[in-house]
Amino acid sequence: MSTHTWTRRQVLNTAAGTAALAGAATVMSPGTARAHGDRPDPHGRLKIIAIEEAVMLPGLITQGTALNGAIPFKPEVTAAWFKRLPDITEYRLADMDANGVTMQVLSLTPPGVQMQPDAAIAVRDAQVANDALAGIVDAHPTRFGGLAALPLQDPRAAVREARRAIRDLKMAGFLVNGHTNGHYLDEPQFRPVWAALEELGAALYLHPTPAPTGDWGLLKDRPELVGPLYSWAAETGGHALRVILGGVFDDFPGARLILGHMGEFLPFQAPRLDVQIQNINTRVPLKKKPSEYLVDNIAITTSGVMDDTMLQAAIKTVGIDNVLFAIDYPFEKSEQAVGFLRHASLSTGHRKKIAHRNAERILKL
């Protein structure tokens, strides 16, 4: 199987001139893009960068999305999502313009490459996805950024791809869709990946995955609990706790993890974590309280949790400099997410930090 890595120019030429990209993610040439939608926020009041925005990309061997599993989503809802996931210029830019969203930071819809059991295919698919994403960003540089995929099935290859994605493709960071075939980011084989992320100054967004690791009795006969109502937040928050308890941030203090959905429960459990950690013999002695890692190494986004009380509590726990805006397009409605941001009980300075300044700093946009 070919592992040929495209150059950015090849990606752009393919996107503009063949059906390989046009059949799934519609990409226009830079000139056409500017005519269509590369213009300032039409509302002219607040620059808004949304950083957890899903896209389906062409050319991948690994198939499947979060919409193909056991979650009982309504058919008409999933149909609307499937229509918008592969799109770039028809629905997405129009939605952004209608709601005053300046930029979406795109990432591969879950479960992405994490579910691929063949390491060589995972490496190949990550390269193809990242090249395609770089082509979209190049075609619409003022409207889109990108979080690259990482083929963690092969940690050495993941390190190489991380360096290529940042240095050559100019990606804004990385997104990993949960566990990788049952392996979690605190495990020893991923230490070189964390070292590379710290070296590159690149953040890693830990996103929920629809791929289960085994039977969870709590969910038996209650499929509604699978997915956004409960299990995704519990699993992702638990994964982040594994990273903390595994001493990753003690070994790599410059590493940065981003959690969506107002921190996947963790900000609201921080006081209990700090109390109970004193009663538990942890396998790895920690240098700090759990809540301190939430401030020093973890940022959170507002995706899907559009409530002022929750926002204020999260800000008090992790700090205003660690809260970023996200919509979770197309799974959440942009008008609701943007309306929440515009009307939240925030000072002008704090609103700007959440809307764009924190993303610009953490993701180097």
Selected catalytic residue, list 38, 87, 125, 328:
328
Q: Quick check: 308 and 344 in contact, CB under 8 A?
A: yes
**β-strand 257-259 against 144-148: which pairing, if any?**
unpaired
Residue 63 DSSP class: -
Q: Which DSSP state fits 5? A: P
Count of helix runs (H) and strand runs (E) in the chain: 16, 8
Rounded Cα distance between 146 and 133, Å, is 6
Which residues are within 8 A (CB) of 136 and not within 5 positions of it... i.e. 6 or more apart?
A: 15, 25, 27, 55, 88, 106, 144, 146
Torsion from C-alpha of 2, 163, 211, 225, nearest 10 degrees: -150
328 is catalytic: yes
CA distances 117 to 121, 123, 206, 281, Å, are 8, 11, 20, 34
The string over 301-335, giving b where at least 16 C-beta atoms fall within 10 Å of a residue's C-beta and e elsewhere, is bbbbbbeeebbebbbebbebbbbbbbbbbbbbebe
User: What is residue 298's three-state secondary structure?
Assistant: strand
178-201: b (≥16 Cβ within 10 Å) or e = bbbeeebbbeeebbebbebbbebe
* Beta strand ranges found along the chain (DSSP E): 49-55, 103-108, 144-148, 173-177, 204-207, 257-259, 298-301, 323-324
Residues 6+ apart with CB under 8 A from 152: 114, 122, 158, 176, 180, 183, 185, 190, 193
For residue 272, which amino acid is it?
Answer: R
**Rounded to whole angstroms, what are the CA distances from 318 to 94, 231, 238, 295, 297?**
34, 23, 17, 5, 10
Question: Which residues are part of the catalytic machinery?
Answer: 328
